[in-house]
Structure 1
Amino acid sequence: MVNSADFSKRIQRIMEVYDLNASSFAERIDVGRASISHILSGRNKPSLEFVMKVVKEFTDVELYWLLNGKGNFPSTSTQQEAEKDKSSTTTPSQSATVQNHESESSAFSNQVANKDQMIKKVIICYNDGTFDAFEPSNL
């Protein structure tokens, strides 16, 4: 379970690093200003949607750090450059894997759609604390 006071401090740290106030932070992650205020005051706990919006908008914020305070923030520029290099370099086997996943997810979407249900988001969590989130636009 996430400690609300510690989570609030990590959100404040993100706001400090990016030189944002609560209002501009709320705008960046597309949530209401009251949501930020309630989380910062400890009144409310963050929802999964809130956490995912923060991680998606601020790419150098690691999910594990945000939730547990373990890891580094902000990431060092060396780590950021390494991540950019890794994500921009795709080997042929990685390309085949991505294509395979795309066809599998398309088949899965068709199965679910036949039951009058639509997939909103698929999140895959890895044992190293990282994750991938897929929304209908990229399934």
Structure 2
Amino acid sequence: MVNIEDFIKRLEIILDYYSLNASSFADKIGVQRSSLSHLLSGRNKPSLDFILKILEVFPEVDLYWILNGKGTFPKNTLNIEKRENQVEDVLKQNIPTPLKEEKISENLFSEIQNPMNRNSLETKKMENQNMPKDVFSSEVEKIVFFYKNGTFKVFNPN
């Protein structure tokens, strides 16, 4: 549960940090000035949409900090980089290193020349042959590209 009085104090910290008054802050995040006024006076509680607009316009604001005061403002970039490095280290541990005799092709879609991998590919091909014919289609319906920023694009070849 969000403590409204503490939330208002944190909101005022954000206003001071960016040197904004309430009306310019409301305009910047795309909410009505009256709704921000009601929120600052304690009349209304913040909506999820309101919180998300703040986070979208001001990326330095930490979600947990604005909701319950845990964390820091502005976001501590050193902690973020440290967490990203830890994730990268874990990912590196799970990536198998290629064998010396394995031939890595420039073309990402070419078949791997490692005999161990060929057996697994042949097994998958045999598994696919046991599937009903209507499961696989030779025509591509659509391709969806997902980007790291949360957006996506759909490609329809037909």
Length-normalised TM-score, structure 2 = 0.52
Listed as ranges, the gaps of 5+ residues in structure 1 are 94-101, 106-131
- Which residue in 1 is equivalent to 2:57? 57
In 2: Cα distance, 1:74 partner to 1:34 partner: 26
User: Could you say what the CA RMSD is over the residues aligned between the two structures, in angstroms?
Assistant: 3.1
In 2: Cα distance, 1:77 partner to 1:16 partner: 20
- Cα offset, 1:78, TM superposition: 4.2
Amino acid at match of 2:68: N
Instruction: Specify whether residues 133 and 64 from structure 1 end up closer, same or farther in structure 2 by C-alpha distance, changes over 3 A only.
Output: farther
Q: How does 1:114-125 map to 2 (within 5 A)?
A: none
- Which residue in 2 is equivalent to 1:67? 67
Amino acid at match of 2:62: E
User: How many percent of aligned residue pairs carry the same amino acid?
Assistant: 47
For the pair shown, the structure with the greater C-alpha radius of gyration is 2
- Cα offset, 1:103, TM superposition: 4.0
- Which residue in 2 is equivalent to 1:47? 47
In 2: Cα distance, 1:10 partner to 1:20 partner: 14
Residue aligned with 1:61, SS: coil
- Cα offset, 1:74, TM superposition: 1.7
In terms of fraction of residues, the more helix-rich structure is 1
Q: Could you report, residue by residue, the CA deviation over 1:69-111 in whole angstroms, capped at 9, with x for unpaired residues?
A: 111012345457x39x98xxxx9x9xxxxxxxx9498xxxxxx
In 1: Cα distance, 2:77 partner to 2:41 partner: 31
Q: How does 1:13-92 map to 2 (within 5 A)?
A: 13-76=13-76, 78=78, 82=81
Amino acid at match of 2:43: R
In 2: Cα distance, 1:68 partner to 1:75 partner: 15
Instruction: Name which structure has the greater RCO, CA cutoff 8 Å, separation 6+.
Output: 1
Amino acid at match of 2:60: D
In 2: Cα distance, 1:65 partner to 1:75 partner: 9
